[in-house]
Amino acid sequence: MVKKYGTGMMAVMLMMVLVLAGCGAGNGNNAAGNAASPSPSQEANATATETPSEAGNDGKEQVVNVYTARHYDIDSQLYDAFTQETGIKVNEIKGTAEELVERLKREGESSEADLFVTVDGGVLNYAKQNGVLQPIESAAVDSQVPAELRDTDNNWVGIATRARVIVYAKDRVKPEQLSTYEDLASEQWKGKVLVRSSSSLYNQSLLASFIELNGEQAAEAWTKGIVANFARDPEGGDRDQAKAIVAGAGDVAIMNTYYVGQMLHSKEAEEVKVAEQIGVFFPNQDTTGAHLNISGVGLVKHSKNKENAIKLIEYLTSAPAQTKLTQGSYEFPVNAEAEKPELLQEWGPFKAQTLDFAKLGEHNKQAVELMNKAGWK
């Protein structure tokens, strides 16, 4: 019995040795496999390294992050074209200008933003004064954008402009009857003037330009006169003023030029019909010139993709991109070499106000106070 038991134990022990040997061999193979196969993070790094068109020397995807208060399809189309041309991806983060500036201030050095894009020189100056921008150093940009459409310290540059003009009913008003913004406050236009509300930044900057050019007293007198001549309480946007003219609510309105262009080429037949019945008049051609509203781009102070950001600014202000922009939005290009759409060519050259766009922001508070005082709703 003892001999039989001992033989069984030996058999069991032999089997255990074989099993352990097999496990040991398997573990040895796994260890070798782990040494040869990359971890998930290693695989990701390897993939980035193997796609140089999408990655920089540091293995990261080439990008430029744009905080933008402009919400136009043509902008996105230009960003896509830039990506196709350079391989640099453009990420758009949209919001109001005020929201984006506050976000930039809050994020500080940790911000991923590279560019800040918005409408209105006063707002661009607001961003500059809040310390979220830095100078743009580019000979190409300097040659493509005239000095009067750039910040004095190059913290931002213009990418497009619009003129705030007088539009009129072709069947009731003759162009010879029109002359200046100031004349719209005269007796002959009583009950005939249409304009959007005082909350419109376009109107605030228009009045701010009058404060800068004519003084606060003259600006206040104009504000009171224009309110007295309202055909109705202000309502709607610029397009709505054009529609109100055609509907007979008033004879003249203050509008931005690019709205007229967009309405004439709208997919909505009713907008086209309205635009065809209004004329465009550039005021103050013998005095201070027509008011310009500017769209611009600023280089964010803590940009982490500064080189890519400057490349995008250079692209946006180049003649080919400016041609695409003006053909798509009916804004005036900042690059003189751009080919303007036929409508803008028909309007011809015009005299524009000459002033530092920063002044629009500096006088904004005064402008709002004057509007409120005059009862401009």
Residue 97: which residues within 8 A CB-CB, separation 6 or more?
Answer: 69, 118, 119, 120, 123, 126, 127
Q: What is the pLDDT along the chain (377 residues), one digit of tens a residue?
A: 333 334 343 333 334 333 333 434 333 333 333 333 333 233 223 222 222 233 344 557 899 999 999 999 999 999 999 999 999 999 999 999 999 999 999 999 999 999 999 999 999 999 999 999 999 999 999 999 999 999 999 999 999 999 999 999 999 999 999 999 999 999 999 999 999 999 999 999 999 999 999 999 999 999 999 999 999 999 999 999 999 999 999 999 999 999 999 999 999 999 999 999 999 999 999 999 999 999 999 999 999 999 999 999 999 999 999 999 999 999 999 999 999 999 999 999 999 999 999 999 999 999 999 999 999 99
Letter for the amino acid at 207?
A: L
In angstroms, the CA 347 to CA 345 distance is 5
Q: What is the pTM of this model?
A: 0.82
CA 320 to chain centre: 18
Q: Which domains does the chain have, with CATH numbers?
A: 61-161+292-347 (3.40.190.10), 162-291+353-374 (3.40.190.10)
